[in-house]
């Protein structure tokens, strides 16, 4: 089967097209395996949709299904545009609802892609636990957010414990001058990743509500620049997506 690989802010995804929707959990584990497969944080299957440009199935690297992935959405938009499945402005159906995307620029297999996320939802009032104040939002999938003084002191054990207790991704964010630094522990990957789009979106929204942040530049662990803005009660974020390679995977 023909598969393409895309990287969005350090999150990497294997993507292919199918006409049939089915459970591909086992296939996702095989493809995402970094030793015996292609290696990826997630698998995206692009499918036809009667009301939108396309719809997707999204799987984490452990084979679990995810309703939404911010960086995966940007990668899917670039894939759809490059393969003639959508124009520069597009909409696709995710498990969290309809996502709008725009290819803002494309050159040498790298595109600046902006997406509009579904409305953020507060899942719980802020609370204190393990010497941290936590905010809990759903930006397509659930995220815990804690603002810290130094993200370099990332507590992997605490992140894993909070993920298991609340069944949510866990984010530590540092407001540093005119930017925000974020590190994320992702469920489904069950480890820290280079970046998480919905995680940064949750940090952005929590910052808007609780820290008087405005439109902001974010940097995940990968160090790549991500632009966030809030307009008409919607969260938009833009960053580069790279088409890294195409391959044939022998299932």
Residues known to be catalytic: 69, 196
**In 9-120, beta strands by DSSP E:** 11-17, 42-47, 54-60, 89-94, 97-107, 110-116
Q: What is the DSSP string of 164-195?
A: HHHTSEEEEEEEETTEEEEEEEETTTTEEES-
Dist. CA 148–CA 171, nearest whole Å: 10
Q: Is the dihedral of CA 70, 235, 210, 166 positive or negative?
A: negative
Q: 114: closest CA among 88, 96, 138, 137?
A: 88
Number of Cβ atoms within 10 Å of the Cβ of 123: 15
Ramachandran category for residue 10: left, alpha or beta (phi over 0 → left; psi -120 to 50 → alpha): left
Instruction: Give the bridge partners for 92, in sequence order.
Output: 54, 99
């Amino acid at each position: 089967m023909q598969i393409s690989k895309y990287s969005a802010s350090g999150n990497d995804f294997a993507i292919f097209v199918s006409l049939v929707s089915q459970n591909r959990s086992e296939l996702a584990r095989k493809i995402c395996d970094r030793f015996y497969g292609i290696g990826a944080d997630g698998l995206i299957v692009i499918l036809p949709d009667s009301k939108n440009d396309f719809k997707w199935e999204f799987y984490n690297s452990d084979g679990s299904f995810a309703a939404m992935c911010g960086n995966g959405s940007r990668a899917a938009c670039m894939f759809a545009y490059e393969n003639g499945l959508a124009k520069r402005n597009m909409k696709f159906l995710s498990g969290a609802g309809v996502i709008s995307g725009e290819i803002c620029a494309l050159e040498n297999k790298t595109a600046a892609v902006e997406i509009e996320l579904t409305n953020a939802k507060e899942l719980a009032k802020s609370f204190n636990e393990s010497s941290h104040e936590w905010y809990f939002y759903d930006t397509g999938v659930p995220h815990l957010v804690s603002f810290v003084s130094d993200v370099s002191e990332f507590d992997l054990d605490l992140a894993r414990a909070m993920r298991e207790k609340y069944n949510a991704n866990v984010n530590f964010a540092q407001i540093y001058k005119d930017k925000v630094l974020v590190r994320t522990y992702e469920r489904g990957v069950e480890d820290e990743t280079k970046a998480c789009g919905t995680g940064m979106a949750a940090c952005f929204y929590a910052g808007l509500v609780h820290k008087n942040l405005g439109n902001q530049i974010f940097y995940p662990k990968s160090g790549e620049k991500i632009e966030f803005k809030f307009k008409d009660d919607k969260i938009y974020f833009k960053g580069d997506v790279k088409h890294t390679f195409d391959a044939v995977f022998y299932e």
